[in-house]
């Protein structure tokens, strides 16, 4: 039953009904009222006034479109099949819990607030990438090819390679055009596989010429200068994330102080007997706040991994590694065949361990009888992995760093307050409290 085509359509119907129910839910509905909506675009509390409703509506439209296309399209390999991938965006619906978790909402607010300042760094980074990308195309266009065969010691050119019935292969990461150059530079920017790319450039000789070991040592200037500037840009990125998170938390703290302001004129307690306990409490509060805030960001990680794991299974679940289709990163322990192992694979990508090799395997050209290869993977795969690496390695990890730094800063402020409080005590009381 579950393998029948109508079963999937039935599930989509229930997804649609669930989305409709969520859209209608609100405490203020009159049980005797016959009105089911407050307007789509017009009205004070219209449907589109909530961004979460817009997401739900968008997912419903995608699901309906997928049902219609599946029923009317005769060819399963049609580009319209991409709608099946877009339908997976319904996994975004668990993010609705953010609206009901104030502390988690703070992390999301920091993420959203950092978009504008990060945008300025992104513009600088794009200009930097384009500059080095154009330079890389000028230096290495057509030079990242090599001959693959049993004995290539006497092979010096493409003609020799083909005459020996060997394969003249282009390296997956190259500088033959600007998009390819930008993807190669991003791999270097993530610090994964940049040494291999540097050695490929070091060995490059010319167009249709077999690479020669350590051919041009001066070309190292290109790669080393790129890595130096990339470190500077990454530090700027981290600085913006930390500063933005601190501003958001300070604003939240000010709001809490206004809401929880106590009446003035309270009776002061004996400070000398409680000062030591306050110092211990400040330390414990710092640890608790750090774990709490980091836990909220880890929950964001969970939602993020859930979405990308589902997409990964849909996109790369059928890719296989055989003698005819060798893999550089995917194997029986690292793949996207089902959801759980996809999570483990994404965790490896998050740590920066050979994620470029995994992306290489998903970029392979489709060959005859390769049922696991989708024709659109050549442009979907770079978007999938690049966006995941940016969010996982650069954005969310830096949010964790920002949360820890803010907690330490709060701890220092608490210590300063206690020291000031101690200074107000009499000498005898200070000795007693110490």
| 173-215 confidence digits (pLDDT tens) | 899 999 999 999 988 888 877 888 999 999 999 898 999 988 8
Longest Cα separation, the chain: 96
Alpha carbon 418 to its chain's center: 41
Inside any domain, residue 107: no
Closest CA to 56 of 5, 13, 98, 21: 21
Higher pLDDT, 412 or 3: 3
Higher pLDDT, 363 or 66: 363
In terms of residue numbers, what domain contains 92? 1-100
Alpha carbon 174 to its chain's center: 24
> Mean per-residue pLDDT for 283-291?
67
Please write the tens of the pLDDT for every residue from 28-45.
Answer: 556 666 565 677 777 777
409: domain CATH number is 1.10.287.70
Inside any domain, residue 15: yes
CA dihedral 198, 203, 208, 210 (to 10 degrees): -140
Q: Both 12 and 68 in a single domain?
A: yes
Inside any domain, residue 267: no
Measured distance CA(73)–CA(424) in Å, rounded: 81
Q: Both 302 and 331 in a single domain?
A: yes
The beta strands (E) that lie in 154-282 are given as 167-170
Inside any domain, residue 262: no
Q: Both 292 and 428 in a single domain?
A: yes
Instruction: Name the band, by pLDDT with cuts 50, 70 and 90, for residue 423.
Output: low
Q: Residue 326's pLDDT is what?
A: 77
Q: Give yes or no for a contact between 174 and 144, defined as CB atoms under 8 angstroms apart.
A: yes
Query: Number of folded domains in the chain?
Result: 3
Q: Both 59 and 139 in a single domain?
A: no
Instruction: Out of 123-127, 344-348, 365-369, pick the least confident.
Output: 365-369
Helices 178-189 and 377-389 pack at an angle, to 10 degrees, of: 30
Averaged pLDDT of the chain:
75
Q: Residue 130's pLDDT is what?
A: 93
Inside any domain, residue 298: yes
Please write the tens of the pLDDT for every residue from 222-244.
Answer: 999 999 888 888 778 777 777 77
Measured distance CA(146)–CA(3) in Å, rounded: 45
Q: Both 124 and 50 in a single domain?
A: no
Q: Of 100, 135, 151, which one is at a domain's C-terminal end?
A: 100
Helices of type H across 153-216:
158-163, 178-189, 194-203
Inside any domain, residue 349: yes
Q: Residue 106's pLDDT is what?
A: 63
Inside any domain, residue 76: yes
Inside any domain, residue 381: yes
Q: Both 55 and 202 in a single domain?
A: no
Q: Both 69 and 96 in a single domain?
A: yes
Q: Both 287 and 416 in a single domain?
A: yes
> Mean per-residue pLDDT for 266-275?
48
Measured distance CA(34)–CA(39) in Å, rounded: 14
Q: Two tokens at 194?
A: 């940049």
């Amino acid at each position: 039953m579950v393998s029948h085509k109508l079963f999937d359509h039935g599930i989509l119907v229930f997804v649609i009904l669930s989305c409709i129910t969520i859209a209608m839910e609100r405490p203020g509905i009159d049980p005797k009222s016959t009105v089911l909506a407050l307007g789509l675009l017009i009205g004070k509390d219209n449907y589109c006034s909530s961004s979460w409703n817009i997401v739900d509506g968008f997912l419903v439209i995608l699901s309906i479109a997928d049902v219609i296309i599946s029923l009317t399209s005769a060819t399963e390999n049609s580009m319209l099949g991409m709608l099946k991938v877009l339908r997976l965006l319904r996994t975004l619906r668990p993010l609705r819990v953010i609206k009901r978790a104030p502390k988690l909402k703070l992390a999301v607010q920091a993420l959203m607030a950092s978009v504008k300042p990060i945008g300025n760094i992104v513009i600088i980074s794009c200009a930097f990438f384009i500059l080095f990308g154009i330079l890389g195309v000028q230096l290495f266009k057509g030079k990242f090819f090599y001959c693959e065969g049993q004995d290539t010691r006497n092979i010096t050119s493409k003609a020799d390679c083909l005459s020996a019935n060997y394969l003249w292969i282009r390296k997956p990461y190259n500088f033959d055009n600007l998009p390819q150059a930008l993807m190669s530079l991003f791999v270097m920017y993530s610090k994964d596989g940049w040494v291999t790319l540097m050695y490929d450039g070091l060995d490059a000789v010319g167009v249709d010429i077999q690479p020669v070991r350590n051919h041009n040592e001066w070309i190292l200037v290109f790669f080393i200068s790129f890595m130096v500037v990339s470190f500077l840009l990454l530090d700027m990125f981290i600085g913006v994330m930390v500063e933005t998170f601190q501003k958001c938390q300070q604003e939240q703290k000010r709001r809490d102080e206004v809401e929880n302001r106590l009446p003035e004129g309270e009776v002061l307690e004996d400070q000398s007997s409680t000062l030591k306990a306050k110092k211990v409490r400040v330390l414990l509060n710092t640890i608790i706040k750090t774990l709490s805030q980091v836990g909220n960001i880890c929950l964001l990680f969970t939602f993020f991994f859930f979405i990308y794991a589902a997409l990964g299974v849909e996109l790369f679940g059928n890719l296989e590694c055989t003698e005819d289709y060798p893999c550089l990163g995917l194997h029986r322990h690292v793949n996207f065949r089902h959801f759980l192992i996809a999570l483990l694979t994404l965790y490896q990508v998050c740590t920066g361990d050979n994620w470029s090799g995994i992306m290489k395997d998903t970029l392979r050209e489709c060959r005859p009888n390769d049922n696991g290869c989708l024709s659109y993977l050549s442009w979907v795969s770079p978007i999938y992995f690049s966006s995941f690496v940016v969010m996982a390695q650069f954005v969310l990890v830096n949010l964790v760093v920002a949360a820890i730094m803010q907690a330490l800063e709060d701890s220092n402020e608490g210590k300063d307050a206690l020291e000031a409080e101690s200074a107000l005590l009499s000498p005898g009381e200070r000795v007693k409290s110490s």
